[in-house]
Chain A
Amino acid sequence: MARYGMVIDLDKCTGCRACMVACKVENNTPQGHFWMYVFRFEEGEYPNTRTWFMPRPCMHCDNAPCVKVCPVGARYKRLDGLTATDFDRCIGCRYCEVACPYGVNYFNWKKPEGNYYLDWDDPDLAEIVGDEKVVYANPDLDKAYGPEKRRIAGGGQAKGVMEKCTFCVHRLEKGLQPACAAICPTQAIKFGDLDDPESEVSQLLREKPHFRLLEEAGTSPRVFYIGQHAPNPSVRQIEEITVKV
């Protein structure tokens, strides 16, 4: 069985944030939720300054702190390496959010249907597209996935539920790349089977130096970075996205 992982080449990332938007459209995540977030960094002082970028999805850790703290088993590891969230089982305790050192969990504080950027309750539009809760609703997201047949795809499921990057589990079953990897203009985001030595991701990890975020936390992330270096306290975030949730 494939065991998936992601390799992000920071030497190729232009920081355009297309992956963030592709994720939001594909997964119908509500306003203020960025399952994929692209950091824009600056370090050094003028004129010895460097600018670089770092996409941050969920790390899908093998030793996932969020899974350990979930009191109801809503957050769980799948055999294919994905760290999944069963929306039907989640009780909204937010322990996972506290336990995660990467800040990748997004809680539905509001009713998702009222949190999609615009007032979609428009009779002219309803005539055209019907009464979708979000006008570009992806029909794949309500299905159950995996041998376990649990509802683990997509965002905006219900108020009081925790959500995060799913590695686009609904696309994987169709043989498609996650939305972020598929759209990346410079192909900086690679996704594939880390157990297959011939996969592109495995080859990249053999050929190039790489690092994982907060290696010292012992979380064993399934997301690897090549190029640049791990962020440290001397790296400043620029063009930070701040939203009200």
Chain B
Amino acid sequence: MSLSRRDFLKVSGVTGGALVAASRLLRLETLTAAGAESLQVEEKYIPTTCWIGKQDCGMLARVVNGRVVKLEGHPANPRNNGTLCPKGVGQIMSFYDPNRVKTPLIRTNAKGVPGEWRKASWDEALSLVAKKMNAAREKGGSKFVWQKGRSKAKKFYDKAFVAASGAFKLHHGAFCSDAGYRALEYTLGLHAVLHPDFKYTRYLLCWGWNVTNAGGNKFCWLTWPQKLVEAKERGMKMVAIDPRQRSAAHFADEWVPIKPGTDLALALALCNQLIANDTIDREYLTKYTNAPFLVGPDGLFLRAEPEGEEEAGAPLVWDTVSGAAVPYTAEGIQPALEGEYTVGGQRVKTAFELFKAHVAEYTPEMAAEVCGIEAAQIERMAREIGENAMIGSTITLDGHTMPYRPVGIMAYHMAQQELGFQAVRAMVMVMMLIGSIGAVGGQFSDFTWKEYKNWAKFEHLKVQDETNLYLKDSKFFPINSNNSSVVAHVINNLSEYGLDDEVVPDVVILHHVNPLGSFPDRNENFEAYKKIGFVAAIDPWISRTADYFADVILPAATIEKYEGPISASDFYTDAETLRIPPMDPLFDSKGDIDIYIDLCEAAGILYGEDGYIAQINKQLKLEGEYALPLDQKPEVRDIFDRYARSKGLEGGIEFFEKNGVNIKGPASVSKVYPYAMEEPFAGILPHRFYGESLLVAQNDMKAAGADEIYWRDYTPFPTWRELTAAQSPAEYDLNLISYHMIEFKQSRTPVPLLIEMAPKVFVEINPATARAKGIADGDEVWVESHNAITGETRKIKAVARYREGIRPDTVAMPHHYGEYVKHPWVKGQGPSPNELFFTGEGYVAQTADQTYLVRVKVTKA
């Protein structure tokens, strides 16, 4: 073997970008020369990136005589190190798929049924969309809606379009992990969910994180499993907390088969035990959180007297040096973490003292009952967390001596549950108790400590009468994840939310998003789309939503376009990449950025100071000589050429066309670890251990007349309550959850190579449960769900599959079915569990985030 991937990786490693690039190039050229000689063909490798998922793994497209014959992993990209997942390598088939939308299409039949189409020119299609869009833009508000699924690469061209067009924006996050994002934004000021410091961690709580199937915080799949396997080789212990064992696979040292949706109770029981075992990091809690703040009987912080100012002063702490309540910002004080004190004649406690009282009832026995697991297992986990946290220990990296707390949580999509926001907050509090937040080996979320805009916003939650289509700043969901199914629910029930027809959109542009295919609740979405006048879809496929409701479909290219910039960081190495087209856009498709440029031109919003070009300059920070001229239609390649040059890359776009990835080097200790920063935690302090503003919001919601179902979870500390689903009648005896399969997760496209491996929908059921119901492995069954609030029931048919690795009170179905796109390979694949889930009250979190849990009964069909 002259060169294996491993040899190459030795060269690439995390050394300088230039060296990596040069060695890779050398290799490519050698290969190209050898290939050309022996095969009499022109062969080259064009660096590009994966178009599926969210992490845009680096790829090399093997191109022979101008035709892509294979997509392989780019060896120098830190995210995938020369490898790919099954979707990455399989997407070549969808790239060439003759079922792609080849030309712009205009609908010729009525909406609400599968579409019939005529081919149109780009000019005709774009003028039509521009005309409709401009009419809606004139009316303002939410009349013109732009919705995107997962944005690929930096969102610069999305944001530029929204800014230039004034569109009302909808997202996909409320179906993904936004409840977790909101929890972290609220508690630590970071826009991300949870991952550990794999390089140093010794004990990992793999909390609903599906190692072998799903993604994880920040990445879609491949990077974290690579790091997990390395950490396991190093001896890291891993506990999998999940109703289904598949997530644990054989990587877990212990499986905690928790009842779905009860994670909050488990986290608080762990807190209870950490306090009981006295394995808590008092220094972190005192210095960096609001746990020592004094809380009055009204649940609000005691604050310094406002001295002639309208706003309240700084919260008070009890200073053990002076024996008095002083502003927490005062110099030279030693705040008490615990205790009860008399201030201004009233007895007050520290927030931490209140927390101790709060978690006192969350004993292992109580949580064991709620979570359906053993109390001894909870006690053991708490002991192991405490022991492995090595509280008080430090480690020195690159001259920085920092706390060493090698315990962390990996959690992401599990955040989408009824108590999701508070459950993730409770999980973070477990890590706060042991001082693991940002410590080496400890709890991380974003790639660096950078304040997210919601950190300040969440200090004062708006509860106002005036609201909009997604109920922003309302008495319903003051913290709000912009859930487009809630939007559909609101459109279908306007008066219940004090809204009228004025908010119903006239025009919706759907960009790579398929609400009828991807989001529960499918029925609500279907009814809502009937009310929308004009729908245009930008997509390489006829999605289910487009098939039933689009008036125009604009064919987008897949990997064959320029797109970016894309972070190629794996948390430990900083790198950047671009998507480079290995071929021209197939058929009559266009790259997404080209489509927006053309659409903005047709709509008259391309040029000038407020136009799309100006917004691109702003978003990409193209200034001075790098700025695009505002009166000249740009070429997309030129946009990225200017971007690359503005970043100091010699050769501009050619650097990426040759090398694919720009390795900037190892992420510095002071970027990764908040204790090594000039100002610890980048000054985003104190961490919100106590959620005072949640209580204020609750009070405001009550005052505004909101029902209890909206305000009940706005509590300063996470608080367990029975889930809505549990109130369904006893005959609905099973919990239904849904999950991702690695073959399809975020695939966006029907790839026959992958569908062949799992062609039909199924429902996993524990054999003991199934036998008691007379259901054999492979039987067709009815799965019927029940809405505990409205009493509505829905049912679908699927094939039962026996699995020992699932709780007997739970059944599970993969998401990826339900004929989500018009394609021969998805015909007859059976329904999606999204048809069984509900949206709206009781089935969304306090942040309007979608849940994926409902009670069902399963009967033999």
Contact = CB atoms under 8 A, between A and B. Distances in A.
Chains A and B bind each other:
yes
A29 to B, nearest CB: 10
B518 interface: no
A175 B1 contact: yes
B753 A25 contact: yes
Contact of B1 (A47, A186, A192): A192
B789 interface: no
A118 B98 contact: yes
Nearest to B742: A16
B1 A42 contact: no
B801 A238 contact: yes
B4 interface: yes
A140 B167 CA distance: 51
A243 B825 CA distance: 13
Contacts of B752: 31, 117-118
B805 interface: yes
Contacts of B73: 182-183
B757 A17 contact: yes
A176 B96 CA distance: 26
Among A18, A20, A21, A241, find the residue whose CB has the most chain B CB atoms closer than 10 A. A21
B34 A174 contact: yes
A16 B84 CA distance: 10
A220 interface: no
Given A117-B93, A139-B41, A185-B85, A21 B226 contact: no
B474 to A, nearest CB: 43
Interface stretch (B63-71, B139-147, B493-501): B63-71
A175 B756 contact: no
Contacts of B754: 21
By size class, the interface of chain A is 35 or more
B64 A119 contact: no
A117 B86 CA distance: 16
B249 A185 contact: no
A21 B221 CA distance: 16
B824 A118 contact: yes
Interface string B41-79: 101000000000000000000001101111111000000
Interface residues of B, number: 74
Contacts, number: 183
Contacts of B245: 49, 51
Interface stretch (A63-71, A94-102, A122-130, A158-166): A122-130
A103 B472 CA distance: 59
A138 B743 CA distance: 23
A12 B230 CA distance: 9
A172 B3 CA distance: 10
A86 interface: no
B226 A186 contact: yes
B613 to A, nearest CB: 31
B211 to A, nearest CB: 7
A50 interface: yes
A20 B85 contact: no
B246 interface: yes
A129 B86 contact: no
Given A14-B211, A135-B96, A185-B85, A243 B257 contact: no
Among B41, B742, B768, B808, find the residue whose CB has the most chain A CB atoms closer than 10 A. B742
Nearest to B229: A186
B96 A25 contact: no
A186 B801 CA distance: 28
A186 B225 contact: yes
9 contacts: A18-B85, A20-B86, A53-B212, A120-B98, A128-B583, A139-B41, A139-B65, A174-B35, A182-B73
The 5 closest A-B pairs by CB, nearest first: A175-B2, A122-B98, A117-B752, A18-B86, A49-B805
